[in-house]
Amino acid sequence: MKIGPGMGLIVCVLLPIVLLLFGILDVLQTASAILLLGGLWAITYGIVFGKVGSKLYNVGAGVVVVSVSTFVFFPLQYVLGLVLISAIAMVLISVAATRKKS
């Protein structure tokens, strides 16, 4: 059986919803947990299971989604700053990685 990105995302969505239904998380915490788990799954999938050409893309998208998930803990301006910093860092890493190959 091949592990695809959808299998992990199903767990990333259902687990926080179960915690919401049991009253452990509220609605905002559930949304944040879904984003956090989804981002962590994208990072893990990119590193462990991803194809060679899309590893950096998966990890970069995961880092951006994880930084978005901090909206529960930080003010919106800090979250947007984290998103921009992570996006800039991923662009710089992508440029460095493609230059190394050439």
23-33 residue pLDDT tens? 999 999 999 99
Expressed in percent and rounded to 5, the helix, strand and coil fractions of the chain are 85, 0, 15
Structure confidence at residue 102 (pLDDT): 54
Structure confidence at residue 101 (pLDDT): 59
Burial class (CB in 10 A: 0-12, 13-18, 19+), 38: buried
Residues of the chain scoring pLDDT < 50: none
DSSP per-residue letters across 56-89? HHHHHHHHHHHHHGGGGTS-HHHHHHHHHHHHHH
Q: Hey, where are the domains in the chain?
A: 5-101
Q: What is the DSSP code (8-state) at residue 25?
A: S
What separation, in Å, do the N-terminal and C-terminal C-alpha atoms of the chain show?
Answer: 35
